[in-house]
């Protein structure tokens, strides 16, 4: 099945509205019947706000036709007025049928008497007055109120001329016919407004929530705002009392403010909906709204009739903007703009009809705008809902693309981390190899050098026991190296003397064979005990330094000094009177393994190495801070600095 064309849909809607209006006017026409009640005349006169029905001669009557409005007759009048309706019932006896009274509206409050008997009365006949201006009423007249011949209906109306006080249409006739007309009137005056309020509030809540979730969608926010103000205007037409405001005048002012806010927010919504940015127009609109609200609230009561130009101006501007939007939609050709352009003429025509009807320029007695508002708002809601759905689809597509991008990034990151892990493992392996080489050089290498030097200085072949002792010593050095490299829980010697004792023993015999005088200067106690790694570093540095003295210096004196300048600092100084070497040249041409080993060990524990050398005087000084965390030899050493060795 093909979907209906837009033109056919429009035509069907117009036919429904025409049939509704035609049925309203047809229902109001009464068939010609000799037994039908006949209205003779309707008169009005100013009256006291309280008291019984006066005699007819006591008032100054004026003949009127309904609907009647005090504004033209008594412009500044505030009070009450009696309406006297004279009518005849020609039927008598069994020909008489059930007679009913239908009253379209009382502006603002009132009371109804039939042949002197009270038929109905509003709840509040003094300020704040009840609000019966949009409340159709229907009564089945008792026999006493519908006598054959002449009858009277007295209606006392309370209101203000500047609030269009007066009396709506009156019908007296067959009860069944008037009941049908009353149902039609109730639908257009009450039910249609309730539907309009419900739809408006629903759209306001729905799109207001969408705007709160995404503040960048300002069109949703303005749509929710103008729907809310329209609902408030419709609610003011449905309420039957002025609560919580103190008077009908205050309530009328509040309604005018709500209507002005509705027109302004609708105009802003239309600009946002049309994707237009007119800052000057919007600024002028806000200034007009602020000034209009101030005028409505502050104008004295006797001048209120002159400020209707505020509401009229807002309506004219809204109408002009809607007409301009038709041209804008034709240029953009966007579906959402075309949908609103299709609804705008209906909204404007019916709105102008109701506005002229309210001002009594025309007198149809039927409000048509409530029928169009749900249709227009529903169409706009569908358009905005479509935009919301498209936005959600774009967000979902973005989430899918973002998820794919994150997955690819995670895969790339995983590959990179695996590669970095492999590089780190190789780096650690190289560092461990370097550490082992340094440990072999500093411990076992030193033992080998001492043994070689001892053998070279011996005048006679060494006995087996002495050779075995030297081999055991190297074995012990190897064991110590292995133990030191696999455990971080080494015992720290209690005193510096206990720390230096093994090395004094190892190098003492060799120094005697080489005729090398050694002077040891050690403190009696630690001021702050070094850590196990610091002790091991000191041991390796001292072993390498003394080995270098034996191998290269050709010195006759060497001094080993351990100083504690402060509780947080330790200084190891080795000085000899050997031939010396060029420190600067050694640093440029790459240091030897032993010097690099010493430097790397000290840098690993944030220590420093300082070497000064000249013929006859070479001083090696190692400094470290006590009580600070240092890395274990298995970790990577710090980079070699250019200031690590200085002359």
**CA–CA gap between residue 417 and residue 432 (Å, rounded):** 22
pLDDT reading at 91 higher than 80? no
Secondary structure letter of residue 174 according to DSSP: E
Q: Determine the average pLDDT of the residues in 273-294.
A: 88
Structure tokens at 294: 């101030």
Q: Determine the average pLDDT of the residues in 223-227.
A: 90
CB 558 within 8 A of CB 546: yes
CB 445 within 8 A of CB 547: yes
The predicted structure's pLDDT at residue 603: 86
The predicted structure's pLDDT at residue 593: 67
In our burial notation (b when 16+ CB lie closer than 10 A, e otherwise), range 70-107 reads bbeebeebbbbbbbbbebebebeeeeebebbbbbbbbb
pLDDT reading at 18 higher than 70? no
Range of weakest confidence among 34-38, 400-404, 517-521, 625-629: 625-629
pLDDT tens per residue across span 300-321: 877 776 677 787 888 888 888 8
CB 23 within 8 A of CB 51: no
Q: Determine the average pLDDT of the residues in 189-210.
A: 88
Helix (H) / strand (E) element for 255: namely: helix 248-273
The predicted structure's pLDDT at residue 24: 47
**The CA-based dihedral angle spanning residues 109, 111, 112, 116, taken in that order and rounded to the nearest 10 degrees:** -160
Range of weakest confidence among 111-125, 502-516, 518-532: 502-516
CB 100 within 8 A of CB 139: yes
Structure tokens at 319: 């109408």
Q: Determine the average pLDDT of the residues in 508-523.
A: 85
Q: Determine the average pLDDT of the residues in 528-535.
A: 86
pTM of the model: 0.57
pLDDT tens per residue across span 381-438: 777 777 778 888 888 899 999 999 999 999 999 889 888 888 888 887 787 777 677 6
Structure tokens at 524: 């009696």
Q: Which domains does the chain have, with CATH numbers?
A: 38-187 (2.60.120.260), 191-397 (1.20.1070), 493-625 (3.30.565.10)
* Sequence-separated (6 or more) residues with CB below 8 Å from residue 335: 383, 386
Q: Is 524 exposed, middle or buried (0-12, 13-18, 19+ CB in 10 A)?
A: exposed
The predicted structure's pLDDT at residue 426: 84
pLDDT above 70 covers a percentage of the chain that reads: 80
**CA–CA gap between residue 357 and residue 343 (Å, rounded):** 21
**Among 243, 355, 258, which Cα is nearest to 297's?**
258
**CA–CA gap between residue 119 and residue 111 (Å, rounded):** 8
pLDDT reading at 641 higher than 50? no
Instruction: Output 597 or 531, whichever has higher pLDDT.
Output: 531
pLDDT reading at 486 higher than 80? no
The predicted structure's pLDDT at residue 30: 44
Secondary structure letter of residue 303 according to DSSP: G
Mean confidence (pLDDT) of the chain = 81
Range of weakest confidence among 3-17, 214-228, 461-475: 3-17
Q: Determine the average pLDDT of the residues in 503-509.
A: 80
Instruction: Output 91 or 243, whichever has higher pLDDT.
Output: 243
Secondary structure letter of residue 201 according to DSSP: H
Between the alpha carbon of residue 294 and those of residues 252, 264, 284, 300, 311, the distances in Å are 14, 15, 15, 12, 13
């Amino acid at each position: 099945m093909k979907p209906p064309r837009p033109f056919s849909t429009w035509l069907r809607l117009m036919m429904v509205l025409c049939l509704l209006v035609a049925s309203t006017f047809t229902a109001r026409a009464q068939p010609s019947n000799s037994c039908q009640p006949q209205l003779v005349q309707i008169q009005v006169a100013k009256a006291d706000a309280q008291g019984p029905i006066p005699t007819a001669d006591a008032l100054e009557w004026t003949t009127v036709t309904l609907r009647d409005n005090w504004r033209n007759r008594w412009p500044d009048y505030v009070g009450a007025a009696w309406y006297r309706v004279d009518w005849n019932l020609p039927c008598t006896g069994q020909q008489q049928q059930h007679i009913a009274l239908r009253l379209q509206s009382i502006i603002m409050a009132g009371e109804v008497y039939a042949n002197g008997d009270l038929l109905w009365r509003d709840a509040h006949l003094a300020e704040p007055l009840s609000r019966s201006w949009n409340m159709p009423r229907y009564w089945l007249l008792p026999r006493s109120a519908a006598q054959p011949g002449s009858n009277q209906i007295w209606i006392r109306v309370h209101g203000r001329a500047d609030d269009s006080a007066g009396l709506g249409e009156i019908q007296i006739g067959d009860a069944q016919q008037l009941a049908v007309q009353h149902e039609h009137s109730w639908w257009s005056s009450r039910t249609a407004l309730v539907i309009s309020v419900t739809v408006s509030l629903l759209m306001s809540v729905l799109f207001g929530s969408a705007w709160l979730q995404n503040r960048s969608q300002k069109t949703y926010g303005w749509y929710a705002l103008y729907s809310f103000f329209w609902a408030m205007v419709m609610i003011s037409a449905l309420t039957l009392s002025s609560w919580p405001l103190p008077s009908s005048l205050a309530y009328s002012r509040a309604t005018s403010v709500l209507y002005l806010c509705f027109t302004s927010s609708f105009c802003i919504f239309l600009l946002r909906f049309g994707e237009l940015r007119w800052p000057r127009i919007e600024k002028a609109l806000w200034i007009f709204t602020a000034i209009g609200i101030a005028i409505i609230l502050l104008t004295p009561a006797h001048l209120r009739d002159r400020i209707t130009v505020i509401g009229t101006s807002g309506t004219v501007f809204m109408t002009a903007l809607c007409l301009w939007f038709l041209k804008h939609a034709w240029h953009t050709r966007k579906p959402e703009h075309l949908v609103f352009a299709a609804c705008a003429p209906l909204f404007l025509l019916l709105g102008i009809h109701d506005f002229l009807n309210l001002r009594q320029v025309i007198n149809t007695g039927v409000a048509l705008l409530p029928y169009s508002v749900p249709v227009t708002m529903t169409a706009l809601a569908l358009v905005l809902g479509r935009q919301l759905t498209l936005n959600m689809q774009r967000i979902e597509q973005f989430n899918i693309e973002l998820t794919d991008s994150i997955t690819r990034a995670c895969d790339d990151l995983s590959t990179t981390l695996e590669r970095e892990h492999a590089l780190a493992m190789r780096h650690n392996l190289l560092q461990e190899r370097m550490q082992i080489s340094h440990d072999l050089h500093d411990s076992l290498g030193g033992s080998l050098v001492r043994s070689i030097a001892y053998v070279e200085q011996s005048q006679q072949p060494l006995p087996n026991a002495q050779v075995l002792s030297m081999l055991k010593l190297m074995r012990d050095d190897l064991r110590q190296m292995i133990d030191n490299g696999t455990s971080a829980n080494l015992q720290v010697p209690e005193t510096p003397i206990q720390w230096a004792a093994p090395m004094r023993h190892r190098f003492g015999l060799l120094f005697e064979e080489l005729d090398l005088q050694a002077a040891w200067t050690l403190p009696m106690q630690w001021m702050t005990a070094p850590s196990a790694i610091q002790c091991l570093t000191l041991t390796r540095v001292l072993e390498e330094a003394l080995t270098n003295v034996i191998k290269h210096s050709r010195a006759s004196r060497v001094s080993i000094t351990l100083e504690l300048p402060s509780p947080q600092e330790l200084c190891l100084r080795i000085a000899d009177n050997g031939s010396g070497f060029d420190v600067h040249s050694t640093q440029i041409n790459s240091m030897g393994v032993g010097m690099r080993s010493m430097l790397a060990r000290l840098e690993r524990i944030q220590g420093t190495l300082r070497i000064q050398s000249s013929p006859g005087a070479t001083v090696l000084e190692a400094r470290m801070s006590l009580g600070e965390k240092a890395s274990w030899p298995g970790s990577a050493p710090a980079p070699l600095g250019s200031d690590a060795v200085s002359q």
